[in-house]
Structure 1
Amino acid sequence: MLNSRITEKEKEYASICKLKEISQEMSKKLELLAERLETLNDGSEAVSTVLQNWPMIFESIQLASQNTEALVRVPHTLDEKQPSDSFSNQ
């Protein structure tokens, strides 16, 4: 009777050790999952910020395309009254 009880307790101990090992593995996996969810959350916040800016970007493009006639480049020229070389008259 004592031997059967010892055998039963050894099996129970082995099961508890296995349960402890599995619990530790599960804890590690849950910590990794939490880290990945945090990264995912940060990435989704960045995507949200970009998407919030798109209406302003489209509006800017529309305004720029409507006012292309107003954009005229004026070439830079030297004033004819100023001498191009200050040492040429000396």
Structure 2
Amino acid sequence: MSASSTVPPYLLQRMAEKKQELEHLLALRQLASHLQTHFDELSDKFDGLMQGNQATSNVLENWASVFRTIDLTEKFAQDQDQEQERSSLVRIPTA
């Protein structure tokens, strides 16, 4: 007698279903692994973007200071010019 003739048909069918379920689970595990790899790569890219955004933010903050410094320098130069105009002497030739 063969082994399949001693096993009831419903058990053979159940074994076939379980084998198919195992194949699907293994395929799902492989897809989940690929998805995890994809999300890890995406996370690394987002980390790079965040660092780039922080650097850009720092540059923009510095530009505000640069413009403020330029404005103060221009005001100081204008004040100096006005002070020189007030205190400069005009010489009128008499002879």
RMSD, aligned CA: 1.8
What is the identity, as a one-letter code, of the residue corresponding to 1:40?
A: N
Q: Superposed, which structure 2 residues align to 1:1-90 within 5 Å?
A: 1-68=14-81, 70=84
Aligned-residue sequence identity (percent) comes to 8
Point out the structure with the larger helix share. Answer: 2
Q: Deviations over 1:10-53 (max 9, x none)?
A: 00111111111011011101101101110110111121122123
Give the secondary-structure state (helix, strand or coil) at the position aligned to 2:57.
helix
Larger Rg, first or second structure (1 or 2): 2
TM-score by length of 1: 0.69
Flag as ranges the 4+ runs of structure 1 deviating above 4 A. none
CA–CA distance in 1 between the matches of 2:24 and 2:60?
53
Q: Structure 2: which 5+ runs fail to align?
A: 1-13, 86-95
CA–CA distance in 1 between the matches of 2:69 and 2:53?
26
TM-score by length of 2: 0.65
CA–CA distance in 2 between the matches of 1:42 and 1:55?
20
